[in-house]
Copies of this chain bind each other. A is one copy, B any other.
């Protein structure tokens, strides 16, 4: 945990924060942050997916009126980079989510606050300028889920983002090997008033996974109830399949985050970028899709847009910048990412996000 709030020298790219974070963080926390689940197959796929397409520069275009304004579900954002919900931010900086919220305010960036934040959602809210969104994990008891949603609504959050792909989560293997201990090292204060899952007594022929952890997994009715009870738009995060995307859209979900939880949920899942085009094709042009997973550079943002995303979210970059330089670091990282995107747009002759179309990409030969 750090309290540094100054920019270190020698940062020229958003991704530079990664190496610096590795140096700044204690090893268990670094591994907790960097790890994916299992063998990290999906972590590698996320990054590798951005190398399969080249960007074709266009010449002599006038981009002097260019901008990165992003229309997302009826709102206009200054740029399409969101701060993904990152849990337990006190691991990375003494001011935790307050620091991130300040960076969000300084850079016109939408922040998505995690259910597992280290600070109370009501206290985070005032640090934000733009109304943040609240990432919601379904709780074992329905009333607690609805209470969390009501609290977010009351506190002035702009939307709920329900994460559905990680009903079971555990730290990556390297984090466990390095001694990271979730109970000891984290404190999800937003859940402190809820009872939490009751330990299930399992028979010998029952499974710790199916009859244990998955007892509390939400089903379609839980989502329907939430949609009925909240006035906030509800997004769903963790979608990788076309049929799930269509089902969720038809249920009234406001938009989707195409995501594999940064490779932290099902190891072996495809890169989120690789499923984006088929989901975009299925849901049509007008349904909002956010992509996360593997974004390290503004050029990656460009590629995600060209493949059908309306916006992107960054998690690891955010936590790394927070660890290295607190609110200033997160703000700086966002600015660098945005300028990298603008540079890519300028060089490919795009004056707005709407001009970033699939024909600007070229598949690599072979």
Which A residues fall within an 8 A CB radius of B?
10, 12-13, 15-16, 38-39, 41-42, 45, 49, 51-52, 54-68, 78, 164-165, 167-168, 173, 176-177, 205, 207-211, 213-215, 217-220, 223, 236, 238-241, 243-244, 247-248, 260, 265-271, 274-275, 296-297, 299, 302-303, 339-340, 342-348, 351, 362, 364-366
Nearest-neighbor residue (CB-CB) of A339 within chain B: B209
Establish whether residues A57 and B241, one from each chain, have CB atoms under 8 Å apart when the complex forms: yes
Question: How many identical subunits does the complex contain?
Answer: 4
**A365 touches which of B49, B243, B247, B248 (Cβ 8 Å):** B49
**A351 touches which of B62, B208, B210 (Cβ 8 Å):** B210
Known: A38-B299, A63-B214. A57 touches B266 (CB 8 A): yes
Establish whether residues B57 and A207, one from each chain, have CB atoms under 8 Å apart when the complex forms: no
Distance between A80 CB and nearest chain B CB, rounded to angstroms: 14
Tell me whether chain A's interface is mostly helix, strand or loop, or mixed: loop
Nearest-neighbor residue (CB-CB) of A163 within chain B: B59
Establish whether residues A60 and B265, one from each chain, have CB atoms under 8 Å apart when the complex forms: no
Nearest-neighbor residue (CB-CB) of A223 within chain B: B60
Specify which chain B residues have a CB less than 8 angstroms from the CB of A268 in the assembled complex.
Answer: 54-55, 299, 302-303, 344
Q: How far is the CA of A45 from the CA of B55 in the complex (A)?
A: 12
* 22 sampled A-B residue pairs with Cβ under 8 A: A10-B177, A12-B176, A15-B39, A16-B173, A54-B271, A56-B269, A57-B165, A57-B260, A57-B265, A57-B269, A58-B243, A60-B244, A64-B214, A66-B207, A167-B347, A209-B346, A214-B346, A266-B347, A268-B299, A268-B302, A274-B362, A275-B362
For the complex with contacts A55-B269, A64-B210, 19 further pairs of A-B residues with Cβ separation under 8 Å are A12-B176, A15-B39, A38-B299, A39-B296, A39-B299, A41-B299, A45-B364, A54-B270, A55-B270, A57-B266, A57-B269, A59-B164, A59-B241, A59-B248, A60-B244, A66-B209, A268-B302, A270-B362, A274-B362
